A and B are shown apart, each in its own frame.
Chain A
Amino acid sequence: MSQSETANPPAEQLPTAMDRVRLARDPQRPGTLDYIAGLIDNFVELHGDRVFGDDQALIGGIGEFNGRSVMILGHQGGTNTRENLIRNFGMPRPEGYRKARRLMHMAGKFGMPILTFVDTSGADPGVGSEERGQGTAIAECLLEMIGEPVPIVVTIIGEGGSGGALAISLGDRLLMLENAVYAVASPEACASILWKDSGRAADAAATMRITAADLDRFGMIDELIPEEVPAHKAPHDTIKRVGEKIAGHLDQLTSSFDPDAPHAIEQLLNARHDRFRRLGAWTTTGDV
C-alpha cells in the first residue's frame, strides 16, 4: 500500500484467511502420521471401535514422547487418491470417534497424558455415518474428553473443521500452527449458506475469523506456533518446533499434576471446564 510503511510488512504481503485455508489443506503439509514419526518412539497403533469397524481417518495409539508414555490421537487424510480412499479424505466416520473415545478412556484408566493432532475438513457426511449415529459418536467423544482425568494437549496442525475437529480438541492446552485454521464450518459451506454461492469462499473465510491470529485474539488458544516458512516447505523444522512446544506445555501440566494427590484430578477437570465455561460473546440489557 503506502511506501512509508517500514515498521510492519505491507498488508498485501500477509496471507489472507483464504491463503491460510489453502496452506492448511496443502496435501504435502505434515499430518498426524508425520508428527508421530518425528516425535514419538515405540508407537503402537491401536485399531477399532469394538462396535463396527476401524476408521483410518482418525488414528490413535500408545507411544513414547520425551520419555513418557502417552496416548496419541489425530486425524489423517491422504496425499493421493488411493490413500484418500482409505482415509476418507481425513473425514472420520462414527467408528473413528468411538475409537477415539475408547482410547481416551484407556488413557484415563492408566494415567497416560493425551496428545491430539487436529487436521480434518470435518466429520464424514455420508448416509452410513448418519445411520450409525455420527452426531451421537461426536457428542460421546466430547463428553468423554471433558471428563478425562489426565492432562491433554491439543495441537491444530492443519484444518480444524467444525464438530469433527472439536471432538478431539477439548484439552487443557490448545496450540495452533500459524497457518492452521479452526472454524465452525468450511468457508465453502458458509459461503453457500449465507452468500448462496460457494464461490464466495474467500469472503466467507475472511468474515468468519478462522486464522490462528484471530483465535489468539479471542483468547481461545494458549500458543500460536509461528511458521516462518509454511509447514509443507519445512516439515522437519515445523515438526521439531511443535514437539518442543508440546513438551513445554505437557511438562507444565504434569509437574503441577500428581494423580495421587488429593483433589489433583478435580483441579485439572475444573480448570478444563472453566476454559470452555467462559467462551462466548453476549451482552445484557440490564433489565430482567
Chain B
Amino acid sequence: MRNLLQGRGKFRPKSQDDHREENAIPEDLWVKCPKCGEVLYSKELANNAEVCPKCGHHFRITARQRIALLTDNGSFEEWDTDLRPDDPLEFVDLQGPYPNKIRSAEKKSGEHESLVTGLATLKQRRYVLIVAEFNFLGASMGSVWGEKLTRAVERAIERELPVLTVNASGGARMHEGVFSLMQMAKTVSAFERLGRARLPHFSLLVDPCYGGVTASYATVADIILAEPGAMIGFAGQRVIEQVTRQKLPEGFQTAEFLFEHGMLDLIVDRNNLPAMLLNLIDHHQRLSRSPVTTRIEQAATNGLAPAEPVATSGRKEPAS
C-alpha cells in the first residue's frame, strides 16, 4: 500500500494546520514531526501516506490525497463538481461578505467546497466515496455538502454500492445559518434510505471531526472507524472549558479515548486503510448475495418476521 501515493503531484506536504509553518524548512524538503520531533524527509513521509515512520503520527491530508490513497490510480469519477455555495442570509461578518470568504477558501484549498464525492474503484471493487476537505473553511457543513452527499448516497442506492465517508469537520457553516443546521437532518435522512436498501455505510473519522457532522450521519454508520490520534467530539474543547470550567481528562476526545468509551468499532492505521476497506466491502458483498439475507428481505417485504430461526448455513436455497 505504501507506494499507492507515489508519483502524485498533489501529494506534497502542505504547510497548513499541522503546526508545520513553524517547523517547516525551506521548500518543504524536510518536515519536523510535531509529535516526536523527528526531522523527516518529506518524500519519505509521502511514501508512508503522511504518517511519521518514527512515531506513527498521522499528519492531516487533503481530500485529494485521501482519494489517491483509497482508489486505483485515475479511477475516481467525481460527481457534482458544478455545485457552489449560495449566500441565502447575505451574511457579512468582520471579514466581510460570505462570498469573499468562499473565494479565499477556494484559493487556499483548490476546491470549490468542503466535500468531494464520486464513484471510486479500488482493486475492482466499486463504491461511493465521500471525503471532507478541511482546508476549505474548516470542513464546515453547509448546503452544498448536504446536497452533494445526498446525491451521492442516492446514486449508491440506485447502483447498489456501499458508501465510505471520510469525515473531518470544524462544525456547521455559520454563514449559512439554519440552512446548515438542516443539513444534519438531510444527510441522516439520506443514510436512513441507504440503510433501508441494506447497503452498508462505513464512516472514517479523521482529525478533526466536531459538531454537526459528529452529531449526524458520521456516527450512525454501520461501522465507524477512526485514524490514530484524531480529535473527535461534539463540543469543542474551548467551549467545554468555558461553559463547565471542568479540567479536561488526559487524552480527552482522541480516537483512543472514544474507542475506550465504546464509540468506535476500530482505530485503523492509514497504511492499513485500503486493505481494511476491501475486507469490509467483501464481507458485505458476500452477505448481500447470501440466502440468509434474501430470506430476511422476503420476510420484511411480507411484513413478517422470519417464522423460524434463520438458518446460517447459507447453502440452502431460499423458498421462492
Contacts and interface: CB of A to CB of B under 8 A. Distances in A.
Nearest to B148: A282
B94 A194 contact: yes
A134 interface: yes
A277 interface: yes
A273 B194 CA distance: 13
B219 A136 contact: yes
Given A125-B240, A166-B184, A284-B82, A134 B234 contact: yes
A277 B150 contact: yes
B193 A273 contact: yes
Given A133-B261, A282-B85, A127 B249 contact: yes
A110 interface: no
A215 interface: yes
Contacts, number: 195
A146 B83 contact: no
B172 A139 contact: no
Contacts of A143: 188, 191-192, 220
Interface string A183-221: 111000110011110000000000111100011001010
A285 interface: yes
Contacts of A284: 82-84
B239 A189 contact: yes
B75 interface: no
Given A193-B174, A210-B178, A285-B82, A139 B217 contact: yes
A205 to B, nearest CB: 11
B62 interface: no
A127 B176 contact: no
A194 B192 contact: no
A130 interface: yes
A281 B234 contact: no
Interface residues of B, number: 64
A280 B186 contact: yes
A130 B232 CA distance: 10
A287 to B, nearest CB: 6
Contacts of A123: 215, 234-235
A279 B91 CA distance: 18
A178 to B, nearest CB: 16
A169 B120 CA distance: 35
Interface string B166-193: 0000001010111111111110111111
28 contacts: A125-B234, A125-B239, A125-B244, A127-B248, A127-B252, A133-B262, A135-B234, A139-B215, A140-B220, A142-B185, A146-B185, A146-B189, A163-B184, A163-B211, A167-B215, A182-B178, A183-B177, A185-B174, A194-B174, A218-B178, A272-B189, A276-B182, A277-B189, A277-B190, A279-B182, A282-B86, A284-B83, A285-B84
Given A220-B182, A277-B150, A277-B186, 14 more contacts: A123-B215, A127-B249, A129-B234, A130-B240, A134-B235, A136-B214, A136-B215, A182-B181, A183-B177, A185-B174, A195-B94, A277-B190, A280-B182, A282-B144
